[in-house]
Amino acid sequence: MAESRPTSQTQFANESTAASPSNSPAPEILLELVDDDGVTIGTAEKLSAHQQPGRLHRAFSVFLFDRQGRLLLQRRALSKYHSPGVWSNTCCGHPYPDEPPFVAAARRTAEELGAAPALLCEAGTVRYDLPDAASGLIEREWNHLFVGLITAPLDPDPEEVDDTRFVTAQELKDLEAQKPFSVWFRTVFEAALPGIREIAGRDW
């Protein structure tokens, strides 16, 4: 069962938080493992952490809106090994070990979409265990939620993003009824709703 933990802290994204780390290729991607209280206990390689039975690790999910209050969705690239070609929230991913989740969220949004958030606010955390039948992988995550605004033109990385779309609340419902979404989308969306409504209004 998902457990949402709201927080009132607000931060603003800027160029320094969105900056990428060194471009030197790493031999493997490490995730930060956590215990049931969200306390860091070690690291694990990314793919192994998502293979059954999975290992609880730190993640983040971002929900960005335009000035009209529409949510920016992305369709994940078909080349991705996990949940390819499905619609999901603006951006999601994993901090590097010891990287603050806020910094990771701003950085990864800029990397995937070619535009940094104009505003980024913490919106709590949610923990879940969600198997993905299509891939056989599992999402066992302690997920830090962020909501905010995006005003710059998008320039998505085709290795990460196949398509983007801004939607109203009703258009999101219609799209969910027609197209496949990531296994985690509805869980993180509902957990982030209080923060979403502060940013985008009560229509959400």
DSSP state of 51: B
Inform me whether the pLDDT recorded for 6 exceeds 60: no
Residue range 85-104: mean pLDDT, rounded? 97
Using alpha carbons only, how large is the chain's radius of gyration in Å?
16
CA separation for the pair 163, 160 (Å, rounded) = 9
pLDDT computed for residue 27 by the predictor: 57
Q: What is the pLDDT of residues 16-68, one digit of tens each?
A: 333 334 444 445 899 999 999 999 999 999 999 999 999 999 999 999 999 99
User: Which of the residues are catalytic?
Assistant: 92, 141
At residue 133 the predicted structure's pLDDT band, cuts being 50, 70 and 90, is confident
CA separation for the pair 87, 98 (Å, rounded) = 29
Q: What is the pLDDT of residues 98-117, one digit of tens each?
A: 999 999 999 999 999 999 99
Q: Between 31 and 133, whose confidence is greater?
A: 31
pLDDT computed for residue 148 by the predictor: 98
* Domains identified in the chain and CATH numbers: 3-68+90-153+182-200 (3.90.79.10)
Q: Are 126 and 191 in contact (CB under 8 A)?
A: yes
Q: What is the pLDDT of residues 134-179, one digit of tens each?
A: 889 999 999 999 999 999 999 999 999 999 999 999 999 999 999 9
Q: Are 72 and 65 in contact (CB under 8 A)?
A: yes
The string of DSSP codes covering 112-160 is HHS---SEEEEEEEEEEEEE-TTTSBEEEEEEEEEEEE--SPP---TTT
The residue among 73, 80, 203 whose CA lies nearest residue 132 is: 80
